[in-house]
Structure 1
Amino acid sequence: MRVSEIREQFPILSRTVKGKPLVYFDNAATSQKPQSVIDALSHYYSHYNANIHRGIHTLAEEATLAYEATRFAVQEFIGAAFVEEIIFTRGTTESINLVANTWGRQNIDAGDEIIISGMEHHSNIVPWQILCEEKGAVLKVIPVKDNGELAMGVYQELLSSKTKLVSIVQVSNSLGTVNPVKEMIAAAHKVGAKVLVDGAQSAVHLDIDVQDMDCDFFAFSGHKVYGPTGVGALYGKKELLENMPVFQGGGEMIKEVTFERTTYNDLPYKYEAGTPNIADTIALKTALDFIKSIGKDQIRAHEAELLAYATAQLEAIPGLKIIGNAQDKVSLVSFVIEGVHPQDIGVLLDNMGIAVRTGHHCTQPLMKRFGIPGTVRASFALYNQKEEIDVLVAGLHKALKMLL
């Protein structure tokens, strides 16, 4: 894998920020887009822009074929058994809310328990809090150990006949920790619980096989896999999706409407009301094809080198502490520096053309657990280079001279 050739496919990487070459280390928030994805968006609007599924004219048929081709691509990307198990959404957040408002409202009752972890993104906390408040259910939390791993022994103790759902992040967006979700799913199933896996951070780094994982639901977002914003997918086991109530009412999700009653469409359209995000969904296939063309094994190997190099270089900076040192991590480093607020570091780095994320990363309970207001997070992708990490380290030294 030649990183220099890959970088040439990403036009934004050639720009400058405040007179400095861009160093983009905010990939956990959103990845940059290759020219092929940008071209796919432009090609749709330039050549066959039309609404899908219901039209019989040529443009509508072409748009429909391209849109549904993405569904097959997602099926392959995550290893689903049936293409109708793939529901298009706006992203991971909407996917989780869909499950909470359909399966959750149908199956969670007073006294039931939902288990999440202490490292969840707010989007995998708030929907369950809302549901628990509505139903009188109980939300339980798996603690996070000092090294950023889950306390698996406590998880086993939390599981009981009262557990109806486990909703767990596969990869922490704040720590980079890779959780043993297959083991956790098997344990949850033994007590009769269903499992939703938040794959927002894992889909771009790890090989995903929902059948081997045996999760009941899996969600990911297009914009973190080199695709467009505003599109993602929810996987659900077919028998679950078929028995769940509808999420939103409108066009496409119906078979027949009268003023007396409505009958609903088959999967997956039952959950896709209204005109969807056609262009971005079509371009998502291009993004998945891009990942496939390189190979996740090569991507992981490169990112592992970046992680090891960055960890060693950052740990040598006086006063810097890495938050999250799990044995199994993806290419992300969160850190704090004694006596310096993360936001101040972020502002100074931005003045040097270096894009990092600072703050609580939508994981406020996790930051509270570590007793910090937030971290500086540098997250790496397949187009990043060790030389850019050197720029980050030099930038941090320069920033610290100004701040301390």
Structure 2
Amino acid sequence: MDNFKFHAPTQVVFGKNVETQAGELCKRYGATKVLVHFGGQSAKKSGLLDRVCTSLQEAGLEYVLLGGVVPNPQLGKILEGIDLCRKEKVDFILAVGGGSVIDSAKGIGYGLANDGDLWDYYAKKKTVTAMAPVGAVLTIAAAGSEMSNTTVVTNENGWLKRGLSSDYGYCKFALMNPELTYTLPAYQTASGCTDIMVHTLERYFTAPATHQLAIIDGIAENLLRSVMRNVAIALKSPQDYDARAEIMWCGTLSHNDITGDRSFGDWACHQLEHELSGMFGVAHGAGLAAVWGSWARYVYKENPSRFAQLAVNVFHIPYNYQNVEATALEGIAAMEAFYQSIGIPITIGELIGKELTEEEIATLAYKCSFMGTRTIGQFKKLTQEDMANIYRMAK
């Protein structure tokens, strides 16, 4: 068993009506003036924003509002938030939304606490040394940003999508009410569940020499089965509280390292998808499904028994002891069939409505390789040429 790290400092309050505790918790973590950061009109129309703001008022806290966060959050909105916070002397950022809003809030927190050009930190030119305090009221089960140390942002200058992870990047608290996810469109629910699953799969497919505890594999496999079982329920009965609660908690656990130390994980699918959503603006979870099968078939021979274990323990496929690769490939096909069953595309062509051109493939691989300066993945190290091959297989 390899050494590993586990750090989960976020306070979680889970259940019905917990969003009304936002003011109390912001105050507990030192807030005097709060930026309430959110996405579109749904937070207003549903009454959630009013409930959160009332909670802040009852706690004696001032606040300012900044909406307009889009899926795949953009640097421009973060810079707007930083300027607003400095002007208004804000000392706490409260994200009311899903992963995009939370990631944007973390970006604002980094910008307030670190000098210079914020993008330099996402581009790995500089290292952050702090983050202004951030809390979250979660409305979408998907990204896991409410309890992870990660934020992912798109720079409109070149449409580059980059992630930033650090020990400073955790929310102080996360308020999680599954009822807030009842009104999500079916596609968004399914895409979010795909994102949850791939967060765990990225940790499951470690470098071949890595040895994880059996209990970690067991948690990961059970989490995958739980998401698969409950998304089917939620798509048929959107207001099934128990199914929504299972999905919401799985989303958090999938990205807080309980299913594996992220530093051991592969993460190639996420890197490949970042460029897809940067170029085409697609839903992140759906983009992951569009590349996952092609990635899996491209790399599985590095350790076919790992894919076979997934096939047996998650999909109950009989283990073919005479042909382990056959079991591995059955498992890959079963995962793709599951994505299709919940309405998620499994090729890029299905995702964006056309096949990628060779020029687009070359551009995606170039950006994904950080302009030819890096490889990605740990299960199998992928060069820029490998990245292009996977995009081509998935096109």
Q: TM-score normalised to the size of structure 1?
A: 0.33
Question: Could you say which structure has the higher helix fraction?
Answer: 2
Structure with larger Rg? 1
User: Greater share of strand residues, 1 or 2?
Assistant: 1
Q: Which has the higher contact order (CA 8 A, sep 6+)?
A: 1
TM-score, normalised with respect to structure 2: 0.34
